Amino acid sequence: MTSNDPRCGKLPRASLIPTCGRVRKCSRCQAGAQNKLFRDLRTQRQLVSAGNQRRLPHSIPSGSMPSTQLPRLVIATSGSTPNLPRMKEKKMRLQTLMSQSTDGFNFNREPSQNNLFTLPPLQRCATPRTETMKFSDYEVIKTIGSGSYGDVKLCQHRKTGQLVVIKKLVRNDSTISLIAAEIDAGKRLKHGNVIEFKCAFEDLTHSYIVMEYLQGTDLYNYLEKTDFTPGTEEDVRSLMRGIVSAVVYCHGKGIAHLDLKLENIMVTAPGTAKIIDFGLCDRSDVLCSRWVGSADYACPQILLHHSFMPEKADVWSLGVILYIMLFCVTPFDRADTARLLRKGRHPTMNKPEGWHTVSPAAQQLLQSMLEVDEKDRISLSGVMSHRFFRSTMRERNL
């Protein structure tokens, strides 16, 4: 007998052995059926890929082996890549994340220490779109401002000559969700009283947000040029109408600014107010519990580290802005406010010397916007429809 004869009691050559180990010694099997089986295996062997498992072809005669013992061809390769399914899973996850849109971004998502791809892909803003925008495509004219997370720079595109403002932000675990939220807000918001978002791009360490360049000054410097002389009620009303309408629009898009203050409102040459810097924005329809904003403009709930409704927080900040524009002083003393709140007492809004020089409508609106209890505080729609603004519709059309 030859070594390949099943009647010899030996297994066939190793190259023909299915590695599942289900082939028995065949001295007791019918020689013809077993020889036919191994010939079929030899014919079908080239159809099997390394590392995959496939059932025997239908050409194998039924009854050659019990159904529970039909072998599956497995060709093992030496030196194969370890944890191959795990690597494929990671690659598929990365491709999924990089193909996601920022629409519907979950603002409350916290960055994971083990996930370096929390930030959705940034929109490329080059022409043509197949190119990749780089910060070196711009010439930096000057630095407008700086903070703990990055810088704001006035830049000019080297090819088009267009002036833009670029926020250069350090990207890490503590900033990645804030950057993504600001980009998402910029894409959603299109309003005449909101700064225009151009595009965003990134490199290995930074994210860049490109916005329109506004010729003018922020509201603080605007008041400073007048030596903080209270403006007329008509001028204040005209600016505040645009600011309030922009905030109402943002909340209609599901976005709360949460850092409204004089420095984040630009007054352009024609006298139009535009809201800037959505770096701390959040969803407008859910409770928020993180510290946001600036102390002089933060509502009592933020100062006490309580949960708060974003809409009512923005209303409070708008009330502080309106108060400062009318009287050029803050409505509350910061130290006394914090002390009273810690004792569970409500601070009282200051009434400066010019309090009685403004209209009763302005007084009533300020009091309703600066209610300490947010349940009693007026809503944004209530602010917009207040008679303080409605009383000058006729004057505006003249």
190 in a known ligand binding site? no
Superfamily designation of domain 118-212: Phosphorylase Kinase; domain 1 (3.30.200.20)
112-142 confidence digits (pLDDT tens): 333 333 334 444 343 334 358 899 999 999 9
Q: Sketch the domain layout of the chain as residue ranges.
A: 10-43, 118-212, 217-397
Distances (CA, A) of 356 to 227, 364, 366: 21, 12, 13
In angstroms and rounded to an integer, the radius of gyration of the C-alpha atoms of the chain is: 35
Q: What was the pLDDT predicted at 306?
A: 92
217-397 in CATH: which number?
1.10.510.10
Phi-psi region of 32 (alpha: psi -120 to 50; beta: other; left: phi over 0): alpha
Whether pTM > 0.75 for this model: the answer is no
Q: Residue 370 has which token pair?
A: 């600066």
- What lies within 8 Å, CB to CB, of 51 at 6+ separation is 75, 76, 77, 80, 84
Total Cβ atoms within 10 A of residue 117 = 14
CA–CA gap between residue 30 and residue 64 (Å, rounded): 9
Q: What was the pLDDT predicted at 128?
A: 36
- DSSP assignment of 101-147 equals -STT--TTPPPPTT-TT-SPPPPP--SSTTS---GGGEEEEEEEEE-
3-state secondary structure of 190: coil
Q: What was the pLDDT predicted at 228?
A: 73
277 is catalytic: no
Q: What was the pLDDT predicted at 380?
A: 97
32-64 confidence digits (pLDDT tens): 545 555 555 555 554 444 444 444 344 334 444
Catalytic residue among 184, 259, 277, 282: 259
Give phi and psi for 258, each to the nearest 5.
Answer: 70, 10
Q: What was the pLDDT predicted at 345?
A: 76
Regions in the chain scoring below 50 on pLDDT: 1-31, 33, 46-82, 84, 87, 90-91, 93-130, 393-398
CA–CA gap between residue 121 and residue 136 (Å, rounded): 20
CA–CA gap between residue 319 and residue 326 (Å, rounded): 11
CA–CA gap between residue 215 and residue 264 (Å, rounded): 14
